[in-house]
Amino acid sequence: MEVYSQLGAQAVVAIMAYVFFIAVTFYALQAFRLEQIFKKGKVFQIQLVYILLSIAIGSTVADFVLQLSGYSQQLPYLFQ
């Protein structure tokens, strides 16, 4: 049963990491003026680009952090 609780805890941490980094990326992208790249009146497309960029960048950062965490947990095996 211990394995299942560890897997569940890892899943919760991963989901929280993805949501957190996507939200932070969305907040950070607000500093850029993407509206100047698009045609006037294309509000939906601009919002869609913000959301898709947030998901792409945020999930990449979350993957990096989660993999780094996994690798750091494996480091003690190097010194056994």
Domain residues for 23? 2-79
Report how far residue 52's alpha carbon sits from residue 58's, in angstroms, rounded to the nearest whole number.
Answer: 10
What's the structural domain count of the chain? 1
- According to the model, what pLDDT value does residue 35 have? 79
Contact criterion met (CB below 8 Å) for 32 and 68:
no
pLDDT tens digits, one per residue of 8-67:
888 999 999 999 999 999 999 999 887 788 888 888 998 999 999 999 999 999 999 999
pLDDT at residue 1 tops 80? no
64 vs 33: CA distance, rounded Å? 27
Length of the chain: 80
